[in-house]
Structure 1
Amino acid sequence: MMFNSAYFIDLVEKWSDIIFIYLIKIVLAALVIAVTYYFGKKIRYLYEVKSKNYFAERHHLNKFITFCLSFSFMIVGYFIAIHILGLEGLLTQLLASAGVIGIVIGFATKETTANFFSGILINIQVPFKVGDWVTINGQYGQVKQIGSLLTIIMTVEGQNVYIPNQLIYTGNVVNYSSSGKRMAIVSTGVSYGDDLDKVKNVVMDCVPQIEGVITESEDELFLPRLFFTNIGSSTYNFELRIWINFESHNQYMKAINDGIVLLKKRFEEEDICIAYEVTTLDFGVKGGVNLYDKPISFSEVISQNKDTNVVSNNADIISKPSDIMMDKKV
């Protein structure tokens, strides 16, 4: 077979044209990707500068938005580059395969995905921020970090609690720092013989001396209040409810401590009795047996308890109530 040089030259020229065209397309595609990457990075930087103050307490949301901005520019660049290279068909096949793989991965990582998007929603709605004192799913403490998947709070005992964001978003959250105020309650009781009006006046007179207490407010909800709540077995019980300017748990505990110390001091000065619970022991089947009228015999006690292993040969009978270290009231 004779070698056809003209055919070979034509074939080389044809492949040269194809390679040259694809080289140009590759260069253009690379240039498009580089330009979109540059603009994406530039816009990301400008956004971070502009949003620095607004997202000072929401780092996770800020990072997510900046990532979405730069990623969007890169995706646009890649699609343009693929169109320049004429690889739309290959892209379609890859996306179809990726869709199936994505479904499998989605089922395997659904909890992680749920926590991630819950973290985004938490940062958008901002039910709390870093430094706030909250109760989340029964855990009370200060928010230390709001992460992509977990939120960390530190309890008053100094322990870190890691809570998945999904549980936070679907659960109940109590934020004690949102209003900058918190109610503190001091509970105690006074004896039956005390004048309740006098008690109320003395207690309310102590309120302004409590550090951080709110004594004036346009909203009556935040004004100090005293309520007699119930009649106990030996006391009139009451609650002193005050609102304080709240920043930390120690500040809250100090307000309660100050209230207790001030009330004790003033009650002693005003001769107001903080009564204690009294328990009366009645001996006998029907009760009403007076220990001063009936002597107690240890021999009788031993004879009534036949199953006991204690044996007494000479049981002394105490005939005087003064011989027993016992009171009817405990």
Structure 2
Amino acid sequence: MLDNLSAFWNSYSETLISIGYKGLLAIVILVASAIIAKAIRRSIHNANARLQKLDATLIPILSTAAGYAVYAIGGVFILDIFGVNTASLIALVGAAGLAIGLALKDTLSNIAAGIMLLILRPFRTGDFIEVSNTTGTVLEINLFTTILETVDGLYIASPNSILWGASIKNFTRNGKRRMDIIVGIAYSDSIDEGLAVLKKIALEETRILQNPAPQVMVASMAESAVNLQLRAWANNDDYWQTYWDLNKRVKESIEVAGLTIPFPQRSLHVITCNNQATEKEGQ
């Protein structure tokens, strides 16, 4: 038995040593890949916790992708150590990836759009937006769809590629919004008195921001009224309630000031024509 083992060792010692050496290197590379992948994932989480530059939804995706990338590089090194033609393997994987990409181009388009939305962040979770004739609050941004809830409680899942390719109106991002309140007074009323009423309301309403300062102006000369306009800014949280309250207050204050809010009017002139019919008798 010992003689057989000794003969086998003498015949294949170099091969066994080479395999053992390569196997040891492969183990070292796997351990190193695991350590590096874990360190990169931890670094991504820690860096974003300090800087807050990326959306929280994007962090798990980036950290997972970085970990897989490290393992893929380590796998290439291991295959190269054992003599596998990695160039041909990479070409094969690339061709397979191209075929899969063509077959799933719409899905990959949504993934790419989702990543861009998460990186550039034209909107965030909780923002109130309007896009492609849809208005609602953003509930979730994932790789494939963006989830919205409309003001009447509807659930809308919109593909990311549609959002990425459309103009996005974000009502929340700037923190404040301007409201335009228009009221009409009669042509016989004093414009200065009407503007004074609007200016007083703007100064007394505590929810209206003074920077930018509110403005009052003559908006237009309509058919039946002179339209006066109050432009004022309010914080997003106060916007709608302030807008509703101001409409009520403007109407009441205009009436208290003795001004008239006219109804649409038309002047109708009736012209009567008396036609005399001439009868002709036939002979």
Sort the TM-score into its range (normalised by shorter chain). Answer: 0.7 to 0.9
Q: Does 1:143 align with 2:138?
A: yes
Q: Structure 2: which amino acid aligns with 1:93? A: S
Q: Deviation string for 1:239-264 (max 9, x for gaps)?
A: 221111113xxx32212111112112
Q: Which residue of 1 aligns with 2:81?
A: 84
1:18-54 Cα distance to aligned partner (Å, 9 max, x none) = 2453244224313311221122113312331331253
In the alignment, which residue of structure 2 is the partner of 1:37? 34
Query: Does structure 2 retain, via aligned residues, the 8 Å contact 1:55–1:62?
Result: no
Equivalent residue, structure 2, for 1:232: 222
**Aligned partners of 1:13, 1:239: CA distance in 2, in Å?**
101
1:253-264 equivalences under 5 Å are: 253-264=240-251
Q: Does residue 1:277 correspond to 2:264, yes or no?
A: yes
Superposed structure 1 runs of 4+ greater than 4 Å apart = 6-13, 279-282
1:165 equivalent in alignment to 2:152: no
Verify: 1:242 aligned to 2:239, yes or no.
no
Shift of 1:7: 11
| Contact preservation (8 Å) 2:216, 2:229 | yes
In structure 1, which of residues 93, 110, 113 is the aligned counterpart of residue 108 of structure 2?
113
CA contact (8 A) 2:218 2:228 kept: yes
**Secondary structure of the equivalent of 1:244?**
strand
2:46 corresponds to: 49
Aligned to 2:56: 59
| Residue 197 (1) aligns with residue 192 (2) | yes
Deviation at 1:281, TM superposition (A): 6.5
Partner of 2:279: none
Supply the distance in 2 between the matched residues of 1:53 and 1:42 (Cα, whole angstroms). 16
- Aligned identity (percent) is 22
Shift of 1:196: 0.5
| Kept after mapping to 2: 8 A contact 1:189/1:238 | yes
Following superposition, the deviation at residue 202 of structure 1 comes to: 0.7
| Contact 1:61 1:123 (C-alpha < 8 Å) held by counterparts | yes
In 2, are the aligned partners of 1:226 and 1:241 still within 8 Å (CA)? yes
TM-score (norm 1): 0.73
Aligned residues: 270
> Is there any run of 5+ residues in structure 2 with no aligned partner, and where?
273-283
- Partner secondary structure for residue 258 of structure 2: coil
Across the aligned residues of Structure 1 and Structure 2, the Cα RMSD in angstroms comes to 2.6
Deviation at 1:107, TM superposition (A): 0.9
Query: Where does the alignment leave 5 or more consecutive residues of structure 1 unmatched?
Result: 1-5, 290-330
- TM-score, normalisation: structure 2: 0.84
Match of 2:252 in 1: 265
State the structure with more CA Rg: 1
